[in-house]
Amino acid sequence: MFARTIVFVLFFALCNAYCADNHVLCFVYEWFALFDRNAPHEEFYQRMLDKELKITFPDFPIRSHADFKKWYDGVLATFQKANHDIQWVKVQNCGSGQYKVELVVLWTAIPYSGDTVSFRAHQDWLILRDKNSFKIKEYFVREDKFFQNSLKEKLLNKKEPVFGGFLTIPSYKVIENLALSQKLDFIWLEAEHSEFGTKEVQEMVIACENEKVIPVVRVPQNDPDLIKKYIGTGVKGIVFPNIRNKKEATAAVQTVKYAPEGSRPAGVERANRYLGKFAEYKQTANNNILVVLMIEKKEAVENIKEILEVPGIDVLHIGPYDLSLSMGVSMNSEELKEAISKVQVEANQKGVALGCAASTLEAAKEKQKLGYLFFTIPGDMEMLQKGVEAYFREK
């Protein structure tokens, strides 16, 4: 009899736990349904604590209903409609009426500008149960970095300077050492003036991901059939050399974007994890891959206004050495200075970031005053040479 009682009690407890978990899941789905129908603030307030509340959306901490209202008003003013697709969810009963919830959500929204935006987010919740009522106490949102480009976010949305290491030695060890300082935002993989092929670039991309720096690659030439192989490695930025006119700039942008903005084909690539995550990758790829055009030809300067009419250009990177050769002038000539100044003025008027090589941090800070935000530090070869020279330098 006693044994049967124990079994019954355990069975009853398991049923209650199972039902409670289901109630929590319903609560989670109801919460997102509020967002998707643009519900009034008050319906959200019923589902979250006011005191001791801790909600953190990306870069927006919320500690009260008033904070939430301020954030939500901004969302409603920006987006016409949103949709939350819960892709994975796990509920853990912690006892004492507390539940931890982990979930992955694909958020897609249409802003009033008309261009659909989306991102995949990981969320961690702490829910409290009081009788039959549930309240959110903690709620943390972080973007899924698998498909996100923190470099583009920092450069274009926050308008902050970004710095990259310049890599010509195809070794993961070089990337690991460059990234060790945690000062770099990206690694420039130099496939135009080195022996880098797509195989080497893919290996270097994996190293960059391990070290949490963004990989961008300067491709050897503006050939869509070649470039698609470099994009497929998982790089988050393409640097196009020798852009001369609007036609070439348009072709460059279209090469990295799927239809309708571009002509990039679908393929079995590491970038979309061999089609296993293609649907998610396609949702974000057009917005996430940085498009950098090299301005290093005389014709580019002459056509700079038309080039900047092309939508989708993120950075104009000025190459003064090749530009001086193309113009047939010296590096310290007034003609070169005027040409670069013309590019700077036009880019600033269009709100397009400028990029360049910066020999020192002081030089980069001076360039920021002229609209430059995208910098490469001295390359791996130069660092090695200067390191040896510094060792033997008399003090």
**Same domain for 262 and 179:** yes
Say how far apart CA 241 and CA 340 lie, in whole Å: 17
CATH label of the domain that carries residue 97? 3.10.450.50
CA 353-355-358 angle, 5° bins: 140
First to last CA, the chain: 91
pLDDT in tens, 317-349: 999 999 999 999 999 999 999 999 999 999 999
- The model's confidence at residue 11, banded by pLDDT at 50, 70 and 90, is very low
Q: Which SS3 state, helix, strand or coil, does residue 100 take?
A: strand
Q: Give the end of a domain, one of 143, 158, 182.
A: 143
Q: Which are the contacts of 354, defined by CB distance < 8 A and separation ≥ 6?
A: 315, 316, 317, 318, 343, 344, 347, 348, 367, 370, 371, 372, 373, 374
Domain limit, last residue, from 122, 143, 164: 143
User: What are the tokens at 25?
Assistant: 């899941």
Which of 143, 174, 197 finishes a domain?
143
Same domain, 216 and 334: yes
Q: What is the pLDDT of residues 376-395, one digit of tens each?
A: 999 999 999 999 999 999 87
pLDDT digits (tens, 9 = 90+) for 207-258: 999 998 999 999 999 999 999 999 999 999 999 999 999 999 999 999 999 9
Together in a domain, 190 and 231 = yes
Question: Do 252 and 328 reside in the same domain of the chain?
Answer: yes
The reply to whether 288 and 219 lie within a common domain is yes
The string of DSSP letters for 310-335 reads STT--EEEE-HHHHHHHHT--TT-HH
Can you tell me whether residue 274 is helix, strand or coil?
coil
* Same domain assignment for residues 309 and 177: yes
Indicate whether 213 and 139 sit together in one domain. no
136 & 175 share domain:
no
| Residues 195 and 136 placed together within one structural domain of the fold | no
CATH at 351: 3.20.20.60
For residue 48, what is the DSSP state?
B
Tell me the mean pLDDT in the region 285-307.
96
Highest mean pLDDT: which range of 1-15, 82-96, 254-268: 254-268
Number of structural domains (the chain) is 2
Q: What is the pLDDT of residues 138-188, one digit of tens each?
A: 998 876 555 678 898 789 877 899 999 999 999 999 999 999 988 999 999
Print the domain residue range for 384.
150-392
- Count Cα atoms within 13 angstroms, Cβ side, for 302: 7
